[in-house]
Structure 1
């Protein structure tokens, strides 16, 4: 079906081109702020690398890498205030770390712990959501509640392109628009819902174009351009904070690595496709721009790399120790008042453990 009958496609916002040059006519970004952004990008990339190594060592059960999407991860955290909320997916580990949460705590869930690893209220970061789009409803609820209390907090609700095919996505967008909830729906369009390409999910001109059906603005941005991301997301956050309601932002990016360590991406995409996106690496692009501006030299790069290595070492150390295992935790936090069946099962497990200890 042709989409020519619909409204013209929403233009993709860019400030830096693939080679790191300022796009003609684009507003010059804050160079010093981008140096800090580059530091966070390097840390995010190193965290992805370290987590992948920990999976291979058996220290993590699974890891959904965000390699290639680090600019999205850093930007969505950078534009928030301390009292705002971030609602991440399972792939947004680097975004949570960029928000200021200890990476060891962020990775706790992915080693098999029943807890998300950090205090959501203290950090204003919801637990990572594995089911697609379910956290979007929670995000809208938190945003709506803040508005009813007279607060000007904003909620950044993250999801991927696959989540836009879920009913929860529709319900969250519709409710947020109707009640003018201060939510930014940030879709990291990395082109695949595991192995399902975007073309098999939607024939809309873009995912951002879906916003018109809910009565909210839809914006597209180059997801590998940190400067453009912070500009577009910052505008959406300011709009929400001013009481103008939600915005749907679609980032055009790519998942360079497999869906998780349990996936074989070579079964559904080509090496040439991946290689083309590697050439659009967000780190290399920003590095080229900052170097040309004279804001990044070898000494500063070494300093940033050393800090990233310190972070990686702390992650290795923090996840090296074996977590204490208490089988009876299986029955904790299931019901406020345990059911008779649950109490019976817990007693059976306790008796079996006591028998093993004899």
Structure 2
């Protein structure tokens, strides 16, 4: 059952419940469920705002599909698809203020879209033309972290900096279920709890740590780990964009009002491969995948909106056109990225150049000079 220990700010139940007990405001069938605790949190989200969230998810799914196609066509070195996880990313990202800061893994391209990354920005790293896709200070989002779980430490440190600066900005660290077995994540949570850092640990439990099912590493719901560290937590239907928005708003309010960290487990499903180098057909049960396909985040919101008469065929077509336009800009931006100068790989390694780094640069330059033309 739920224990409702409440920190300053909005009430958030500490989750100590069975795995099937999730916060859900919109069912897979598109039915709006009433919730006396969370309904007031999203009372301002009218049908027009729901259409906006729907449009976000449609755009993100479209450009994610386009990026996968670009990789298959040899235009990107790799791509980490987010198919099926649109609601978890859009619902949480749209709850943020511009002065909040985000630390992610490599899959949160939907979050990057919400934070203001351009179509071309999303391509740079995966085409191999830049070490980062955007200026973190411009959009309030760090560059993606490939080292599993390391971003939770960065987020906790940044959150403590917000406290020392006297601002009420909040920080969100995104990671997957697999990352919760990493020491970095647990160390970050202990540190955040000890110092009441205004950080949200947002776990997208997509059921797979590459090919390892979540049941092998978590004998209880992942959200149950956090209360043991003194961090309130909640499990939310990660395919329900409205429920994710509500849960994130509550956690943000707690962070801004001195209540410290919150752990959110968004239970969703990775419908595609871990990355485009992965073959999920080797380990995914088609029947289980079909069950999750019936819980699709876009389809359920579309059903709700159409039942309410809030989404006409004409409006849906306009949204699809917007999504196509974004994907086209992404493809054109990808093609237009110039190849970097070979020696630029040594730029920005350290704030100040070091003797070993300069020696490596010189040696690599001499190696390049051996080839025809001798230019680098």
Under a length normalisation based on structure 1, what TM-score does the superposition of the two structures give? 0.94
The alpha-carbon deviation at position 343 of structure 1 amounts to 2.5
Q: Does 1:183 align with 2:199?
A: yes
The alpha-carbon deviation at position 286 of structure 1 amounts to 0.2
Task: Report the counterpart of residue 124 of structure 1 in structure 2.
Answer: 140
Task: Report the counterpart of residue 171 of structure 2 in structure 1.
Answer: 155
Measured in 2, the distance between the counterparts of 1:293 and 1:350 equals 65
Q: Does 1:230 align with 2:245?
A: yes
The alpha-carbon deviation at position 255 of structure 1 amounts to 0.1
Pick from 214, 222, 242: which aligns with 2:257?
242
1:227-283 deviation digits (Å, cap 9, x = unpaired): 111011111111111111110000110000011111111111211111111111100
Q: Is this contact kept in 1: 2:129–2:340, CA < 8 A?
A: no
Measured in 2, the distance between the counterparts of 1:122 and 1:321 equals 22
- Secondary structure, aligned partner of 1:12: coil
Superposed counterparts of 1:150-229, under 5 Å:
150-203=166-219, 205-229=220-244
Q: Is this contact kept in 1: 2:129–2:337, CA < 8 A?
A: no
From the superposition, tell whether residues 348 and 25 of structure 1 become closer, same or farther in structure 2 (CA, over 3 Å): closer
Task: Report the counterpart of residue 117 of structure 2 in structure 1.
Answer: 101
The alpha-carbon deviation at position 7 of structure 1 amounts to 5.2
Instruction: Flag structure 1 segments of 5+ consecutive residues without an equivalent.
Output: 1-5
Measured in 1, the distance between the counterparts of 2:100 and 2:350 equals 30
Measured in 1, the distance between the counterparts of 2:226 and 2:22 equals 15
The alpha-carbon deviation at position 289 of structure 1 amounts to 0.3
Q: CA RMSD in A?
A: 1.7
Instruction: Flag structure 2 segments of 5+ consecutive residues without an equivalent.
Output: 1-14
Measured in 1, the distance between the counterparts of 2:221 and 2:131 equals 36
Superposed counterparts of 1:324-343, under 5 Å:
324-343=339-358
Pick from 328, 346, 359: which aligns with 1:344?
359
- Secondary structure, aligned partner of 1:248: strand
The more displaced of 19-28 and 128-137 is 19-28
Q: Is this contact kept in 2: 1:93–1:107, CA < 8 A?
A: no
Pick from 22, 27, 50: which aligns with 1:12?
22
Q: Is this contact kept in 2: 1:47–1:94, CA < 8 A?
A: no
- Secondary structure, aligned partner of 1:13: coil
The alpha-carbon deviation at position 165 of structure 1 amounts to 0.3
The alpha-carbon deviation at position 32 of structure 1 amounts to 1.8
Q: Does 1:56 align with 2:72?
A: yes
Measured in 2, the distance between the counterparts of 1:336 and 1:221 equals 41
Task: Report the counterpart of residue 134 of structure 1 in structure 2.
Answer: 150
Q: Is this contact kept in 1: 2:129–2:339, CA < 8 A?
A: no
Measured in 1, the distance between the counterparts of 2:104 and 2:357 equals 32
Task: Report the counterpart of residue 100 of structure 2 in structure 1.
Answer: 84
Under a length normalisation based on structure 2, what TM-score does the superposition of the two structures give? 0.90
- Secondary structure, aligned partner of 2:271: coil
After TM superposition, the runs of 4+ consecutive aligned structure 1 residues lying more than 4 A away are none
The alpha-carbon deviation at position 147 of structure 1 amounts to 0.8
Q: Is this contact kept in 2: 1:188–1:250, CA < 8 A?
A: yes
Q: Count how many residue pairs are aligned between Structure 1 and Structure 2.
A: 352
